[in-house]
Amino acid sequence: MEFEPVIGLEVHAQLKTDSKIFCGCSTKFGSEPNSQTCPVCTGMPGVLPVLNKKVVEFAIKMAISTDSKIADKSILARKNYFYPDLPKAYQISQYEEPFCSGGYVEIQLDGTWKKIFLTRIHIEEDAGKLLHPETYDMHGKSKVDFNRCGVPLIEIVTEPVISSPDVAYLYLTKLKQLLVYLEICNGNMEEGSLRCDANVSVREKGSDKLGIKSEIKNLNSFKGVEKALEFEIERQKKLITSGEKIIQETLLWDANKNIAIPMRSKEEAHDYRYFPDPDLVPLWVDNEWINSIKSEIPELPKNKKLRFIEQYNLSDYNAEILTATKELGNYFEETVKHCEDYKKASNWIITEVLKILNEKKIEINDFNVKPENLGSMLKSVEEGTVSSKMAKEIFEEMTLSGKPADAIIKEKGLVQIIDTEEISKTIDDILEKNQNEVSLYINGKEKLFGFFVGQIMKATKGKANPKIVNEELRKKLNILKKK
Ligand code: ADP
Ligand code: MG
Ligand code: ZN
């Protein structure tokens, strides 16, 4: 029997608001444990939650950008369970009437655009963080940090439509890119700003029935999601092939051992006793508000990429890389305001600039070569006053000192000689000094052409434009030949 996997992903994205979802506490990451708490987010009796408007605004942005249908009215519900990181013993989330439903995120697979359909996006609060003794030394006791309690999240749930682990990886990359473009989430997985649970089942290839799924948690990188899915798909295939039953369960991924360990059999929604939170009114979102937010949506990755291909005649590959972040796209567009060869500029950024960003582990906005300086240096290459080889040298100097190209060219005396007359004089000089070689050349020893070029370059300390040298030298030798 041939199998095919079916995957659905649930992603929690932490929203980049300054304060929490139902109180005024700060959401700043990495602060002293329990320093950002109050009676509301620690679940003290008698307190009342007040919904943060910014959270709804950010959720609207995401809904618009995924073409998801925002519900006129949605409900904040209590999801009840006990755990030490949840002081209220319920999480405020959404269940029966989520914030929005439907929509999609687009990915590009082998050159064609494909929609990954979403089931829903809903708003909820985060729980605290447990620190277990393995991670620090505290005589075997666990500690709890409530700073994360009440930090706003959106949960983005896909339909069971993802057909392989690498498509899951691609989807996550694109989802993160969208969230970061919208500036509603910083996308930082190490800080837990983006967390993913992966659901997977296998079925007979071509079947339209879904198999029994398992859900993998504790995935802390996109590559981890991909690996965990590969592992779980193989495990399920083996079970089915050997005639065993798949049970619906939750597994924990162990990234060190690359295995998934069963955690618990699957809980059902009714175990959570969801009900509308009586402390919060239903959430009404009117069209006027949605429309005013529409105008704040920036150019999104797909549109930017297509525009780069069209406007600058870039390859799909280059456009993809240059639009990976808004900032890199801006850097490219600022650069090409100062030069004409878009393709060359894009290649320079992709090879030379990104290499340095990788080496220094910095972002483009922290790069000390300003785009206008890179652009004007590339312009000099286009005009021929700087050779490609010199350009590398100048660029290296620019990355060290941050100075504009012109200043470095002057300082180092790196300007190329493109004055034909000056080159012509040097050529005459060299031919004059090497009359033996000239007569050998005229009598057929054409290999000596390179020798003359070498001498000329030496005399100009490598600064003569090689193209002009070649042309002028050829002309002069031809004249001598005919004499
Ligand atoms: P749960 O109640 O277990 O959270 P949901 O129906 O809400 O399950 O779905 C959670 C995620 O699992 C969604 O992304 C959905 O697409 C995916 N999913 C549901 N059923 C399957 C299945 N049989 N195989 C793979 N993925 C599935
Ligand atoms: Mg689930
Ligand atoms: Zn608080």
Looking up residue 462, the CATH number of its domain turns out to be 1.10.10.410
* Same-domain check for residues 40 and 123: yes
Quote the ligand 3 centre to 445 CA distance (angstroms). Answer: 88
* Same-domain check for residues 471 and 355: no
Q: What is the 3-state secondary structure (H, E, C) of 320-375?
A: HHHCCCHHHHHHHHHHCCCCCCHHHHHHHHHHHHHHHHHHHCCCHHHCCCCHHHHH
* Same-domain check for residues 105 and 247: yes
What is the pLDDT, as a whole number, of residue 137? Answer: 62
Q: What is the pLDDT of residues 323-361, one digit of tens each?
A: 999 999 999 999 999 999 999 999 999 999 999 999 999
How many independent structural domains does the chain possess? 3
What is the pLDDT, as a whole number, of residue 386? Answer: 81
Q: What is the 3-state secondary structure (H, E, C) of the chain?
A: CCEEEEEEEEEEEECCCCECCCCCCECCCCCCCCCCCCCCCCCCCCCCCCCCHHHHHHHHHHHHHCCCEECCEECCEEEECCCCCCCCCEEEECCCCCCEECCEEEEEECCEEEEEEEEEEEEEECCCEEECHHHCCCCCCCEEEHHHCCCEEEEEEECCCECCHHHHHHHHHHHHHHHHHCCCCCCCCCCCCEEEEEEEEEEECCCCCCCCCEEEEEECCHHHHHHHHHHHHHHHHHHHHCCCCCCCEEEEEECCCCEEEEEEECCCHHHHCCEECCCCCCEECCHHHHHHHHCCCCCCHHHHHHHHHHHHCCCHHHHHHHCCCHHHHHHHHHHCCCCCCHHHHHHHHHHHHHHHHHHHCCCHHHCCCCHHHHHHHHHHHHHCCCCHHHHHHHHHHHHHHCCCHHHHHHHHCCCCECCHHHHHHHHHHHHHHCHHHHHHHHCCCCCHHHHHHHHHHHHCCCCECHHHHHHHHHHHHHHHHHC
* Same-domain check for residues 172 and 279: yes
What is the pLDDT, as a whole number, of residue 403? Answer: 86
For the CA of 157, the nearest atom of ligand 1? 14
* Same-domain check for residues 114 and 242: yes
Give the other-Cβ count within 10 Å of 269's Cβ.
10
What is the pLDDT, as a whole number, of residue 466? Answer: 81
What is the pLDDT, as a whole number, of residue 467? Answer: 83
* Same-domain check for residues 361 and 327: yes
In the predicted model, residues of the chain with pLDDT beneath 50 are none
Best probe residue, ligand 1, of 7, 199, 202 (max atoms within 8 Å of C-beta): 199
Residue having the nearest C-alpha atom to atom 22 of ligand 1: 213
Nearest ligand, measured from the Cα of 38 = 3
- What is the pTM (predicted TM-score) of this model? 0.87
Range of the domain at 449: 420-482
Alpha-carbon gap, residue 373 to 338, rounded angstroms: 8
Quote the ligand 3 centre to 281 CA distance (angstroms). Answer: 19
* Same-domain check for residues 338 and 212: no
* Same-domain check for residues 62 and 27: yes
Give the binding-site residues of ligand 1, using a 6 Å CB cut-off. 6-10, 157-160, 199-201, 210-211, 213, 269
Among residues 412, 435, 452, the one where a domain terminates is 412
Quote the ligand 3 centre to 16 CA distance (angstroms). Answer: 16
* Same-domain check for residues 104 and 209: yes
Among residues 292, 314, 343, the one where a domain terminates is 292
Among residues 269, 292, 315, the one where a domain terminates is 292
* Same-domain check for residues 250 and 387: no
* Same-domain check for residues 393 and 455: no
Nearest ligand, measured from the Cα of 119 = 1
What is the pLDDT, as a whole number, of residue 405? Answer: 82
* Same-domain check for residues 263 and 357: no
